[in-house]
A and B are shown apart, each in its own frame.
Chain A
Amino acid sequence: MQNHHQLQSAANKLPVAVCVVAACFALSGCVTATVQQVRETTTSMTTDDAIVVMGRRNRPSQSESELDFVDCVARNVAAGEDGVQVITEQQFVDAMFPWFEPRTAPLNTNELPELLKQPVLAERLREIGLKYLVWLEGNTRRTAQSGSMSCSLTPGGGGCFGFLTWEKDSSYEASIWDAHSAKTAGRVSSDAAGTSYMPALVVPIPIIARVQSQACTSLAGQLKQFVQSGS
């Protein structure tokens, strides 16, 4: 009988627990994002054309883009009805080896014509249909944090008490190179900032500002528009 009451009580608590978990996922902090672009040449893409999104890795740098951010931008540029064909960074670097390794990759468009003079390279670029090369620089950083939280575990149960808050700032810039004309087509930058909170009254409730994700979506959306048409 006692067991039956315990089971019923647990069953009553289950929807509440599910609601709390769902609310935690639904809660998210505010993010402000800004996207800017500078166009230097006209752009266009056909269905056979492809782009590659790559991170700059020529030297140890505080502004090296995260691999997951580069992947995120590539996935978002390829997604949707208006998505464009994207070659993954690793596929491209391997296909063009050794010319796009950290120590050998061209640092600016002036170096492209010399590279493309080599027939085997020009031929490989034609094979993979590369039209635009997008170089990403920048990253996401935690710029401020405050508050405190303490958690304890006792034989009678446990819990956390306190309040934490932190700010994150994303700043990325994409340089778009035209692989056919060997000129810079333009630049797109994306900045996003947001504050996350975590109040805890027994259970910590994270309210996360998805700063990097917002920067990725904004940048990818703008890049897609930029390369597809524009003058």
Chain B
Amino acid sequence: MNSTSIHQSLFFLAICLSLAGCAGTKVLEVDANRFPVPLMSQNAVSLGVLLDDDIRSFVHKETIEKKGSWEVVLGPVQQTLFTNLSTGVFESFEFVNTTSAPHLDGVLKPTIKEVQFSLPSQTRSNYYEVWIRYDFELFDREGGQVGQWSLPAYGKANKNNFGSKSVGLQEAALAACRDAMAFFSINFAKEPAVYKWLTAGKPLMPKAPPQEAEEDAQEDAESEPTSTTPTTGTTT
């Protein structure tokens, strides 16, 4: 192989590598060291926090035309986020694996329902923006549901402050996580269902007796006969 063909091969390789670089997925991770412990009077409640596998491994994947593919990795930071959040907001807490925890007052189960983001070129603004919607469920100590609510969080980062798209979006994602923490800590005790439960002394929630539940299910089935007929597939 002469030197000209070696140069041509190297040039071709360089082009291929740069194209591969452009087409690759950009993976954004949030810095878990930037979640402070909320400074506030703690709520007199001892809660279990249930982080299931879905939230612990949550990754938002999105492909934007002409801008490539993106992955916003939020799962791994949830443990730190909820540790710091719970340290500031609750009198005591621990991580649990089920919705019932007889030695505590109740269990909080957060879920990430939705994530969206936008680039400045999409919105014709100066901002990278990230939206995260958390859903929270609160259970009494025996697993009865106290209430559930949604928490939309928003974070932005000015493109003039950050050199690259990845860093800008990372900063916006971090801001959205901090916004969720801020909003949760200020409003936790004001959520109507939580407020009612706390002021009532954190009682066990009434559960529908199993017999009644069965009767209800039967009634539903009788009142909506069409819903029991399968529209697709086969039954045995």
Contact = CB atoms under 8 A, between A and B. Distances in A.
A62 B40 CA distance: 33
Interface in B158-193: 158, 160-161, 175, 178-179, 181-183, 185-186
Interface in A91-128: 94-99, 101-104, 118-121, 124
B127 interface: yes
Interface in A4-52: none
B121 to A, nearest CB: 15
Interface size class, chain B: 20 to 34
Nearest to B175: A102
A120 B127 contact: no
Decide if the interface of chain B is mainly helix, strand, loop or mixed. Answer: mixed
A66 B161 contact: yes
A103 B184 CA distance: 12
A60 B125 contact: yes
Contacts of A118: 40-41
A89 interface: no
A97 B38 contact: yes
Decide if the interface of chain A is mainly helix, strand, loop or mixed. Answer: loop
A67 interface: yes
Contact of A97 (B39, B127, B158, B161): B39
Interface size class, chain A: 20 to 34
Given A66-B158, A66-B160, A67-B161, A120 B182 contact: no
Contacts of A139: 160
A120 B40 contact: yes
B39 A103 contact: no
A81 interface: no
Interface of A: 57, 60, 62, 64, 66-68, 94-99, 101-104, 118-121, 124, 139
